[in-house]
A and B are shown apart, each in its own frame.
Chain A
């Protein structure tokens, strides 16, 4: 029989993993071009976290910061006391300092990009741990509050995270706060059945968050939510990390290349000679 405690986990009980972009290069560019500062952003996010925790006492929120050198958990409502804002801000400050002190040369893509792949993986690991803790758990979902451009070097890692989320039925919601759309996040939300949204007015971020992203998975079956208008499905090649419309695909492991190679750099398969002038005839188009 179903144990009594399973009734505590009603349909709308959520585990929300929030990924926040802390890249100082992105935020300083926002500062120069708009009035939407990092501190304004945080006040909207804190109000949103409070409202999620208000909706149901079983709801859980975990915040992961994506920096340009590292990523880390900065808040977990299951272990924090009631002083949520203080808890989060203190950890976040430590994180930003540590992130800045790390060697810049070692960052995957350089300073302009945030470590989205890393924080997505951390979120998925946390969710897997919750899944394995027992048969009863809240419904997990991931929300990316992201602004930095897509880091081309993270393409493979991000795609792997997306497929892993899809397999575990974890939707990835994306709220893009920068000026440009993110092809990574468009695909992430599309593939996992999450919502992708780029708010028109950053100052009204809380209203977007509470209207769209506060919706629990159960209620999504009954509400009108933003639908994908266009998704940039283009892939990045594994060799130069360029976004490409057409390229070469390894017929063994499906790795993507922008130029013809003799050998697959991923699985080592030997390729035949490409026919000159007509790459689409001998290789599949993507």
Chain B
């Protein structure tokens, strides 16, 4: 087994790198299915939800119709991620077209969750037994102090970590509810700062820190108007931040106008063709580009033509034939 380092951001990459058999075994555990779902990019989560009650394979073409042209790259990323994690399987139908279907175990576990709601892996202990629990701030300081990277190599650890992320930060959970294996891991996790261990007179308990409960949070990186505005809000001078709204409306309006102006123009790579030998060749070239759906603009007086870059080779070939 390869040595892996636990870095929260790459945790799901680690899960994705597990062999097929191990991954399928992990999906027996409903907490893992939920954690995996939460780790997915927003679009991928959305697809899983949309397919949750669909038992037949769905064609790749149909799914492509769900997205706007702008979202195509995000769509690709989402589909790739779903296949990589075996949340979705890809098969080819008789016409050799790609179709997708949710992993049945994954699907069943999530259906169960949606009907019955979430269930905690275990109940918090009553406060009269645990007496003095650390405050959330104390717990965070402890986690930061304890956090370090460390080599581990077990699918069981992954399962336990994902299960941990469904506990409530700051609550105490009885160690007796853990399996022997989990109990042997929990000491290491406390060294890593994911949980804090405490011992009462009779019983021991563990308290998950933020590090444990935030394992499955994902991030995406696109810039949009909303993000610019929220960046301004988050980084406002304290005196400005007290005002409501912290970013003045004329500024947000201006950003909105700027964004709609960006969307007014669509950019695409293209080529300009001019100096055609004759009107006939020029018109034939225009028609040729139109046939390919790549025609963008023409100026028939000066015989100039702009065509999408996609068919550069086809255009070259066509113009070469015209010369002969």
A binding-site residues for B, Cβ under 8 Å: 1-3, 6-8, 10-12, 46-47, 50-51, 53-58, 82-85, 131-132, 135-136, 139, 167, 169, 206-207, 210-211, 214-219, 221-224
Q: Knowing that A11-B42, A55-B45 are A-B contacts, what are 7 other residue pairs whose CB atoms are under 8 Å apart, sorted by A's residue number?
A: A7-B217, A8-B217, A50-B117, A51-B49, A57-B216, A82-B120, A207-B53
- Asked whether, in the complex, the Cβ of B214 is within 8 Å of the Cβ of A222, the reply is no
Closest B residue to A7 by beta carbon equals: B219
| Chain A proximity mask over B70-83: 1 for CB below 8 Å, otherwise 0 | 11001100000000
**Distance from B242 Cβ to chain A, minimum over Cβ atoms (Å):** 10
- Asked whether, in the complex, the Cβ of B70 is within 8 Å of the Cβ of A221, the reply is yes
Q: Does B43 contact A (CB under 8 A)?
A: yes
- Asked whether, in the complex, the Cβ of A219 is within 8 Å of the Cβ of B42, the reply is yes
- Asked whether, in the complex, the Cβ of A210 is within 8 Å of the Cβ of B45, the reply is no
**A46 partner residues in chain B, CB cutoff 8 A:** 117
| Chain A proximity mask over B98-123: 1 for CB below 8 Å, otherwise 0 | 00000000000010011111111000
- Asked whether, in the complex, the Cβ of A222 is within 8 Å of the Cβ of B68, the reply is yes
Q: Roughly how many angstroms separate A221 CA and B67 CA in the complex, as a whole number?
A: 9
- With A7-B219, A221-B71: A82-B118 Cβ-Cβ less than 8 Å: yes
- Our count of residue pairs bridging A and B at CB distance below 8 angstroms stands at 116
**A211 partner residues in chain B, CB cutoff 8 A:** 50
Q: Does B89 contact A (CB under 8 A)?
A: no
Counting chain A CB atoms within 10 Å of each CB, the highest count among B50, B116, B117, B231 belongs to B117
The size of the chain B interface, using a CB distance under 8 A, is: 51
**B34 partner residues in chain A, CB cutoff 8 A:** 54
Among B188-196, B233-241, B286-294, which stretch is in contact with chain A?
B233-241
**Distance from A209 Cβ to chain B, minimum over Cβ atoms (Å):** 10
- Asked whether, in the complex, the Cβ of B216 is within 8 Å of the Cβ of A218, the reply is no
Q: Does B199 contact A (CB under 8 A)?
A: no
- With A2-B234, A82-B118: A206-B53 Cβ-Cβ less than 8 Å: yes
Q: Roughly how many angstroms separate A85 CA and B116 CA in the complex, as a whole number?
A: 8
Q: Roughly how many angstroms separate A85 CA and B45 CA in the complex, as a whole number?
A: 23
**Distance from A10 Cβ to chain B, minimum over Cβ atoms (Å):** 5
Q: Roughly how many angstroms separate A7 CA and B222 CA in the complex, as a whole number?
A: 14
CB < 8 Å: which of A56, A84, A207 contacts B117?
A84
Q: Does B46 contact A (CB under 8 A)?
A: yes
Closest B residue to A48 by beta carbon equals: B114
**Distance from A277 Cβ to chain B, minimum over Cβ atoms (Å):** 43
Q: Does B52 contact A (CB under 8 A)?
A: yes
| Chain A proximity mask over B201-236: 1 for CB below 8 Å, otherwise 0 | 000000000000110111110101011000101111
Closest B residue to A222 by beta carbon equals: B71
Q: Roughly how many angstroms separate A124 CA and B234 CA in the complex, as a whole number?
A: 22
**B217 partner residues in chain A, CB cutoff 8 A:** 7-8, 10, 56-58
Q: Roughly how many angstroms separate A224 CA and B245 CA in the complex, as a whole number?
A: 31
Q: Does B37 contact A (CB under 8 A)?
A: yes
**A206 partner residues in chain B, CB cutoff 8 A:** 53
- Asked whether, in the complex, the Cβ of A54 is within 8 Å of the Cβ of B46, the reply is no
Give me 30 A-to-B residue pairs in the complex whose CB atoms sit less than 8 angstroms apart, sorted by A's number.
A1-B235, A2-B234, A6-B234, A7-B217, A8-B214, A8-B217, A12-B42, A12-B220, A47-B115, A50-B114, A50-B116, A50-B117, A51-B52, A54-B38, A54-B114, A55-B37, A56-B217, A57-B216, A82-B117, A84-B118, A136-B234, A139-B226, A214-B46, A216-B42, A218-B224, A219-B43, A222-B68, A222-B70, A222-B74, A224-B66
Q: Does B244 contact A (CB under 8 A)?
A: yes
User: Which residues of B (289-317) have their CB < 8 Å from a CB of A?
Assistant: none
- Asked whether, in the complex, the Cβ of B70 is within 8 Å of the Cβ of A57, the reply is no
Q: Roughly how many angstroms separate A107 CA and B43 CA in the complex, as a whole number?
A: 43
Q: Roughly how many angstroms separate A91 CA and B53 CA in the complex, as a whole number?
A: 29
Q: Roughly how many angstroms separate A229 CA and B244 CA in the complex, as a whole number?
A: 36
**Distance from A44 Cβ to chain B, minimum over Cβ atoms (Å):** 11
**A210 partner residues in chain B, CB cutoff 8 A:** 49-50, 52
**Distance from B231 Cβ to chain A, minimum over Cβ atoms (Å):** 8
- Asked whether, in the complex, the Cβ of A222 is within 8 Å of the Cβ of B43, the reply is yes
Q: Roughly how many angstroms separate A3 CA and B216 CA in the complex, as a whole number?
A: 19
Q: Does B246 contact A (CB under 8 A)?
A: yes
- Asked whether, in the complex, the Cβ of B113 is within 8 Å of the Cβ of A219, the reply is no
**Distance from B169 Cβ to chain A, minimum over Cβ atoms (Å):** 11
**B119 partner residues in chain A, CB cutoff 8 A:** 82
Q: Roughly how many angstroms separate A217 CA and B220 CA in the complex, as a whole number?
A: 14
- Asked whether, in the complex, the Cβ of A54 is within 8 Å of the Cβ of B110, the reply is yes
- Asked whether, in the complex, the Cβ of A131 is within 8 Å of the Cβ of B244, the reply is yes
**A167 partner residues in chain B, CB cutoff 8 A:** 249
**Distance from B313 Cβ to chain A, minimum over Cβ atoms (Å):** 30
**A218 partner residues in chain B, CB cutoff 8 A:** 42, 220, 224, 226
**Distance from B55 Cβ to chain A, minimum over Cβ atoms (Å):** 13
**B46 partner residues in chain A, CB cutoff 8 A:** 214-216, 219, 223
Q: Does B65 contact A (CB under 8 A)?
A: yes
- Asked whether, in the complex, the Cβ of A224 is within 8 Å of the Cβ of B117, the reply is no
**Distance from B173 Cβ to chain A, minimum over Cβ atoms (Å):** 14
**B219 partner residues in chain A, CB cutoff 8 A:** 7, 10
Counting chain A CB atoms within 10 Å of each CB, the highest count among B42, B49, B110, B244 belongs to B42
Q: Roughly how many angstroms separate A222 CA and B75 CA in the complex, as a whole number?
A: 8
Closest B residue to A49 by beta carbon equals: B117
- Asked whether, in the complex, the Cβ of B71 is within 8 Å of the Cβ of A223, the reply is yes
Closest A residue to B242 by beta carbon equals: A132
**Distance from B83 Cβ to chain A, minimum over Cβ atoms (Å):** 19
- Asked whether, in the complex, the Cβ of B49 is within 8 Å of the Cβ of A217, the reply is no
User: Which 9 pairs of residues, A with B, have the shortest CB-CB distance?
Assistant: A222-B71, A12-B42, A84-B117, A210-B49, A50-B114, A135-B234, A219-B42, A47-B114, A135-B233
